[in-house]
Amino acid sequence: MFIAAMVFAVLFVVAYFSFEVGDNWDTFAGMGASTVSLGVTLGMSLLLIGAGIIHLARKLMSDHEMVEMRHPAASPPEDREATVQALNDGLDEAGIGRRPLVRNTMLGAVGILGLPAVVLLRDLAPGNAMDINKLAHTIWEPGMRLVRDVVGTPILASEVETGDLINAAPEAMFPSEENGYPELHGAEEQAEKAKGAIIIVRMDPDEITPLEGREKWTVDGIICYSKICTHVGCPISLYERTTHHVLCPCHQSTFDLADHARVVFGPAARPLPQLPIAVDDEGYLVAQSDFTEPIGASFWEREKL
């Protein structure tokens, strides 16, 4: 059983690289080849390890009842010594030392089970390539319009009321013949939608305290920030218009949107990234560029502001 568990763990890795997610989606009773093969191989590996350990305990270890009387939580030294002796006796009775094949295959099956876990870490990388630089960029580009989330309509600067908070997204998430953006699908679409989500707020321009070099990142008091909290990446939109504070509902990190979204409360370590915006010839809000810093939860290559 332990040897078979090792074989299934290796087959998991083979299946992971052999079957592409999304291909052969109806191979087995309407289920994809990748899903079925990964589930069966990993499940069988775990099942065989468990069954092998149970079989070892039931068939090879001695079978006799042991009674242990209740005792205070703080055991006296002699009880501790007795416990260690009992453990040693149990190891002797199991015969692991006398059965190297059982011992070595059991250790091998448990050890090689870590291989699928290591392989699955590859899926933490964005897209198909393990390129850490993708974490630092989003779909935003110069001239791309800011559109309302869900409906995808562009936003006129003149229509944004003071005190309003608008949940918005990149125009590229709503491709059409008019804007010419390519359609995204599957995981790529979800990743870009998550990274590109923004909030737009309008306030009195005199209330805004911009960072040096960001004086021209707003439009008549309209300011735009990432919607993704810099703590663990939750979406935020709980806005208090009188203080210009926005709250993350997950762990209560609070940001002051009037003061470059600096953290005023909670576990977040850095301000919300700001998206530089402008208006186009038709009066619609557009991005001046992509975010100039990575959005979302912090990772090891970012410096605190």
Tens-binned pLDDT, residue by residue, of the chain (305 aa):
999 999 999 999 998 888 877 666 666 666 778 888 899 999 999 999 999 999 998 888 877 777 877 766 777 888 888 998 888 888 778 777 778 888 889 899 999 988 888 888 777 665 555 566 677 789 999 999 999 998 999 999 999 999 889 999 999 999 988 888 998 888 788 888 989 999 999 999 999 999 999 999 999 999 999 999 999 889 987 899 889 999 999 999 999 999 999 999 999 988 999 999 999 999 999 999 999 988 888 765 455 44
| Helix then strand then coil, % of the chain, to nearest 5 | 35, 15, 50
**Alpha helices (H) in the chain, listed in sequence order:** 2-18, 33-55, 77-94, 100-112, 114-120, 186-196
Check if the beta carbon of residue 66 is closer than 8 Å to that of residue 83: no
**pLDDT confidence of residue 189:** 86
| Domain 137-287 grouped into CATH 2.102.10.10 | yes
Query: Which residues pair with residue 180 across a beta bridge?
Result: none
**pLDDT confidence of residue 64:** 75
**pLDDT confidence of residue 105:** 92
Of 305, 79, 295, the closest CA to residue 197 belongs to: 295
Phi, then psi, of 274 in degrees rounded to 5: -100, 135
Q: What DSSP designation does 150 have?
A: T
**pLDDT confidence of residue 29:** 63
**pLDDT confidence of residue 228:** 93
Of 261, 241, 279, the closest CA to residue 159 belongs to: 279
Check if the beta carbon of residue 175 is closer than 8 Å to that of residue 188: no
**pLDDT confidence of residue 24:** 62
